[in-house]
């Protein structure tokens, strides 16, 4: 049940409950990379502990989704590690849609080959 609520935080960020928890506990990030905080309430501590369960089974599907961040969220097709392994400050707060060409829904090959390591390039271009 706690994992399901965590999933709702990620998939329904406009709900009232998601908004309240986001403002209080993960203002600058998302549920999966949230910090426990200094004096968390019992409910938040329980939801925070469920992050491991959620992150073990979660993977974003890329399509028209505009809320998936480049780093810190599982969206690659590699089942062993669905996270981007390339480290770059340019990924901070940028969404996956920024890696696509503006004129249509295809990857911008130049951007991907310039920014990502070989492993991540293969995973992204294989989507």
Consecutive H or E run containing 113: helix 109-115
95 and 67 inside one domain: yes
pTM for this predicted structure: 0.59
pLDDT at 89: 84
pLDDT at 118: 95
Alpha-carbon span 7 to 102, nearest angstrom:
30
53 and 63 inside one domain: no
50 and 81 inside one domain: no
Cβ-Cβ contacts under 8 Å for 21 (sequence gap 6 or more): 9, 31, 44, 47
- 57, 81, 97 - which closes a domain: 57
70 and 122 inside one domain: yes
pLDDT digit string (tens) for 83-105?
899 998 888 878 888 898 887 77
Domain that holds residue 101: 59-127
- 30, 57, 84 - which closes a domain: 57
52 and 64 inside one domain: no
The answer to whether 94 and 69 have CB atoms below 8 angstroms apart is: yes
In the chain (127 residues long), the average pLDDT of successive 10-residue segments reads 82 88 85 83 88 72 71 83 88 86 86 94 90
- For residue 69, report the phi and psi dihedrals to the nearest 5 degrees: -80, 150
Q: How many domains does the chain have?
A: 2
């Amino acid at each position: 049940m706690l994992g399901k609520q965590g999933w709702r935080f990620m998939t329904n960020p406009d709900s009232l409950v998601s908004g309240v928890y986001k403002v209080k506990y993960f203002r600058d990030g998302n549920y999966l990379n949230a910090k426990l905080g200094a004096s968390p309430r019992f409910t938040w501590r329980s939801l925070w502990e469920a992050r491991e369960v959620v992150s073990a089974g979660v993977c974003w599907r890329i399509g028209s989704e505009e809320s998936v961040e480049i780093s810190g969220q599982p969206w690659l097709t590699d089942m062993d590690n669905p996270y981007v392994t390339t480290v770059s400050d340019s990924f901070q707060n940028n969404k996956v849609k920024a890696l696509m060409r503006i004129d249509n829904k295809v990857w911008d090959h130049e951007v991907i080959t310039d920014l990502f390591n070989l492993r991540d390039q293969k995973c992204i271009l294989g989507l």
